[in-house]
Structure 1
């Protein structure tokens, strides 16, 4: 006799934090020229907020370890901090010309971050620092690559009064991955950072209310340039640091004598 079984509901797909930035438009050249200077007050505020966010994240880590999710107060503050930080960096990286407000909530701002804090795997929470290492390396390489060409990007936007679309796409991809890494590290999301090269052009269904980042061939090629330069800069920095360390070790007779006696050297 055939038996009938009730179909199990499909598991809800894991939500990947989303970033929405409007299409590149005209920018005031004087704000582009003075962008770093204009952001000085934001750097101070962001530094203070980062210290508070660290404390809240530590408390939230203990809460998530025991309850399987971030406490509401931690999720609320860290989400606001993530949105604030992303708006500041979007302005710094010349993707928008609107100055970031000194507030967590800004519904009318063109840069929007969508995160959905929810249940967390306790084991993944316990090993969060270890699990985040590969994503941290990728994020570091992307950022180093962007900084390697930031002067050229600034000069292009200053001359044209707008950011060319391929440059916009590559920059937005770097900014979005940075945001996703922070969301994962701060336990605002259980989704591991991914999709460096944008979203599929026809993704069905798209679970976010924000627009997907669909990159052109030119944008992807420029992002590859960022990655290559980032790897080169990271390797060069490591080699230089190693040489400087060896020089200090060789030139300092005290270090030469006592070095082998220091545990862990």
Structure 2
């Protein structure tokens, strides 16, 4: 019997600190922050690998090493924290093999992969995904989020058993070995499925519950020997990583540019202004502040200077007053006035109420408004701090009106085309770097012949 190409191992540590596990969730936060970005890159790498396998039948080695590094890093963090709680040794910030760490993961690099199988692996893995969902809470270690596979510790049967082991450790000072073996079996199953769905092997995961920290089975594979180690690996990995980052940035800029062009071409009204969705504002007080805008630029006349917003408009109900004025003057006028301040829009709008009395004079009598009117106003943006205010025309209590904001945004189209162009350039450069890394020849060294023996597992 041959071993499965995905080898997951963990060394059991009988001398665990009985208290440390209570704060491990806090200690691994830096790892989770880094892993969030690494898994985002993992998703991009997976898309590129999918296309490459479909065309060439090969998973580019630098990208494979990166994907394997992300899985290794995540497995070490899970083993330290609530994927097992089986070691007190803090995991290293590394994509490398780290063979001296208690938790190790290795995946045999496939020289060839099936072009057709890559299209249906997600479907073939459905039975395994159902089992993994039971182990890991329907989305714990292996989850499909925003179009990418993610591996991160969570609940389910694993979480429950690890929590029980932590409580036992807390009161007895001993981690139950039976729980450890069972949890490692579930972790091993999940990682095998993750590697298969991640296109890193064509070997279908076995329906076999291999418990314990050691990988069972014979250590000699029937598959061809692994490729000889090569020199210049850094010369391939570095361009691949830079290329993936350029692809990420390029994708974001291209999407922003396309969204900007869509808004410029489809969201303008008859006057040429882009109109925001209408928002109802209500207050039991005398005024509603619509937030503060800080506008600063360096030189008048620049496209991104005083002309980038263009003509700004605010429309309210005909019997309501709306004005824009310097923030300092508005604050003095409304000091001690019963009012609300609104931040956010739509369902995300937040009201901050300030109790007080009625204003000393009606809003139209104030000389500081840069633009004001009943029912609507039009204002050309200027440098400074500005606040928009909605009140009843007579300054009475209880404001209830609909607000619609508009802006001509003359810089929208140029900015969108710029973002789209820069994004396309970064996509081209990123794709070129990844292709270069995938096809760059290496100089093989003389491989050392290694024989590994292990007891067969039936």
- Name the TM-score class by shorter chain: 0.5 to 0.7
Query: What is the alpha-carbon distance in structure 2 between the residues aligned to residue 189 and residue 124 of structure 1?
Result: 10
Q: Deviations over 1:65-105 (max 9, x none)?
A: 11112111211110111111111111122122211111111
- The equivalent residue for 1:222 is none
- The equivalent residue for 2:99 is 107
- The equivalent residue for 1:65 is 54
Shift of 1:35: 1.5
Shift of 1:23: 2.7
* Matches for 1:116-135 after TM superposition, within 5 Å: 116-118=108-110, 119-135=112-128
Query: Whose RCO is larger (CA < 8 A, sep 6+)?
Result: 1
Shift of 1:158: 2.2
TM-score (norm 1): 0.67
Query: Can you give the 5+ residue segments of structure 1 that lack an aligned partner in the other structure?
Result: 1-11, 209-265
Does the C-alpha gap of structure 1 residues 42 and 162 become closer, same or farther in structure 2, counting only changes over 3 Å?
farther
Give the conservation status (yes or no) of the 8 Å contact 1:16–1:189. yes
Query: What is the alpha-carbon distance in structure 1 between the residues aligned to residue 174 and residue 56 of structure 2?
Result: 47
TM-score (norm 2): 0.40
DSSP-derived class of the 1:32 partner: helix
- The alignment status of 1:36 with 2:48, answered yes or no, reads no
- The alignment status of 1:188 with 2:179, answered yes or no, reads no
With 188-197 and 59-68 compared, the bigger mean Cα shift is at 188-197
Q: Deviations over 1:134-165 (max 9, x none)?
A: 22111111112222344322211222333211
- The alignment status of 1:172 with 2:184, answered yes or no, reads yes
- The equivalent residue for 1:253 is none
For residue 14 of structure 2, the aligned residue among 22, 25, 28 is: 25
Shift of 1:172: 0.6
- The equivalent residue for 1:137 is 130
Q: Deviations over 1:166-201 (max 9, x none)?
A: 001011111111111111111222222225421799
Query: What is the alpha-carbon distance in structure 1 between the residues aligned to residue 46 and residue 6 of structure 2?
Result: 18
Query: What is the alpha-carbon distance in structure 2 between the residues aligned to residue 162 and residue 179 of structure 1?
Result: 27
Query: What is the alpha-carbon distance in structure 1 between the residues aligned to residue 190 and residue 30 of structure 2?
Result: 22
Query: What is the alpha-carbon distance in structure 2 between the residues aligned to residue 81 and residue 59 of structure 1?
Result: 16
CA RMSD of aligned residues (A): 2.4
- The equivalent residue for 1:46 is 35
Query: What is the alpha-carbon distance in structure 2 between the residues aligned to residue 126 and residue 160 of structure 1?
Result: 50
Does the C-alpha gap of structure 1 residues 98 and 67 become closer, same or farther in structure 2, counting only changes over 3 Å?
same
Bigger share in helix: 1
Moved >4 Å (runs of 4+): none
Give the conservation status (yes or no) of the 8 Å contact 2:132–2:190. yes
Query: What is the alpha-carbon distance in structure 2 between the residues aligned to residue 196 and residue 100 of structure 1?
Result: 28
- The alignment status of 1:56 with 2:37, answered yes or no, reads no
Give the conservation status (yes or no) of the 8 Å contact 2:182–2:211. no
Query: What is the alpha-carbon distance in structure 2 between the residues aligned to residue 163 and residue 14 of structure 1?
Result: 28
DSSP-derived class of the 1:95 partner: coil
DSSP-derived class of the 1:25 partner: coil
- The equivalent residue for 1:76 is 65
Does the C-alpha gap of structure 1 residues 204 and 134 become closer, same or farther in structure 2, counting only changes over 3 Å?
closer
- The equivalent residue for 2:86 is 95
Query: Can you give the 5+ residue segments of structure 2 that lack an aligned partner in the other structure?
Result: 137-155, 222-458
The aligned length equals: 196
Query: What is the alpha-carbon distance in structure 1 between the residues aligned to residue 172 and residue 54 of structure 2?
Result: 50
Query: What is the alpha-carbon distance in structure 2 between the residues aligned to residue 14 and residue 95 of structure 1?
Result: 24
Shift of 1:132: 2.1
DSSP-derived class of the 2:105 partner: strand
Query: What is the alpha-carbon distance in structure 1 between the residues aligned to residue 5 and residue 165 of structure 2?
Result: 28
